Structure 1
Amino acid sequence: MTDHENTPQDRNMSLKLFVVLTRALESIEKQVIKDIKSHGLNLTEFSVLELLYHKGDQPIQKIGQKILLSSSSMTYVVDQLEKKKWLERKACPKDRRVTYAAITSTGQELMNRIFPQHTEAIHQIMDGLTTDEKEFMIGQLKKLGYHARSLQE
């Protein structure tokens, strides 16, 4: 247990914080999705391409885990991205049961073009805070996330 207050006012502040965090996240997500859609992608397609762009080839099964997507949905998204020639499947030379997704040169060109714009859009969304406020929020939100995670154990 923590050494924090356990008063009715503190419990009410916990509820208020939850509501404010949820609404802020919804507003931020809407803007991020709007930006991604402006590039002709949906959030899942962008998430897969962004992962491959920054981390290189990935086993398809692992991509779903990393971006929190079911394996049936993952297959559909990989199929769609393959049709658009933005990724390709590659067999694993060491284990034939494993298939990798790899970003193609066309996918790489797309991400080279849109990722800087996406980064700028995220910056504009977060620009309501100063650099110091962002650092403070990052610390506080990590602390809150770690505490919530510890309750699951």
Structure 2
Amino acid sequence: MTGTRWLDDREMAAWKAYLTASHLLERRVEEQLKADAGLTHAQYEILARLSAAPGRRLRMTELAHGVVVSKSGLTYQIDRLEKRGLVERSTCPSDDRGVLAVLTDRGAECLERTAPGHVAVVRELLIDLLTPGELETVTRVMSRVETATRAAAR
């Protein structure tokens, strides 16, 4: 392919390290959430975002953007959480076409039970391995990647 900027050895090493670490970390987080609460990582993120939202509710479109799933993917996850009584849907008071996802008391209790194990895994396998300066660098770099990736998807 003419014009392709192939990765040099240093760039390839960074890419491979990122891929391997992110896959292994995601797998371990999934294992912990499944074992502790029968949740996927996406489902945990939904509960956490709803818990932090005013009134423990968010519009489905806003939730999909934050959790980084498609609208149909979010609908699937909300269906599963709703069957377990962890969330419910309601109509948006300001827009009859809008749908809100609402964290139930049962969902808040599930999150409260599950969060300590989740935080322990995140600390053990990421946060506590980094210096404060490295944490700032990771935040800055990953924020730049997020911004570029979201812009490219538009």
> Do they fold alike, i.e. is TM over 0.5?
yes
Aligned-partner Cα distance in 2 for 1:82–1:146: 29
Aligned-partner Cα distance in 1 for 2:24–2:130: 15
Aligned-partner Cα distance in 1 for 2:100–2:82: 12
State percent identity of aligned pairs. 24
Give the superposition deviation at 1:124: 1.0
- The one-letter amino acid paired with 1:42 is T
The answer (yes or no) to whether the contact 2:44–2:111 under 8 Å persists in 1 is no
Give the superposition deviation at 1:105: 0.5
Q: Which residue of 2 aligns with 1:5?
A: none
Q: Say yes or no: does 1:65 pair with 2:65.
A: yes
Give the superposition deviation at 1:30: 1.4
Q: Which residue of 2 aligns with 1:134?
A: 135
Q: What TM-score, normalized by structure 1, do the two folds share?
A: 0.78
Give the superposition deviation at 1:108: 0.7
Q: What are the ranges of 5 or more consecutive residues in structure 1 without an aligned counterpart?
A: 1-7
Q: What are the ranges of 5 or more consecutive residues in structure 2 without an aligned counterpart?
A: 1-5
Deviation string for 1:60-94 (max 9, x for gaps)? 12222222222222222111111111011111111
Q: Which residue of 2 aligns with 1:34?
A: 31
Aligned-partner Cα distance in 2 for 1:146–1:83: 32
- Structure 1 pair 134/80, CA: closer, same or farther in 2 (3 Å)? same
Deviation string for 1:92-128 (max 9, x for gaps)? 1111101100100111111112112211221111233
Q: Say yes or no: does 1:49 pair with 2:47.
A: yes
Give the superposition deviation at 1:50: 1.4
In the TM superposition, what are the counterparts of 1:3-22 in structure 2 within 5 Å?
11-22=8-19
- Structure 1 pair 52/30, CA: closer, same or farther in 2 (3 Å)? same
The answer (yes or no) to whether the contact 2:33–2:41 under 8 Å persists in 1 is yes
- Larger CA Rg, structure 1 vs 2: 1
- Structure 1 pair 148/79, CA: closer, same or farther in 2 (3 Å)? closer
Give the superposition deviation at 1:148: 5.5
- The one-letter amino acid paired with 1:69 is V
In the TM superposition, what are the counterparts of 1:56-95 in structure 2 within 5 Å?
56-95=56-95
Q: RMSD between aligned alpha carbons?
A: 2.7
Q: Which residue of 2 aligns with 1:25?
A: 22
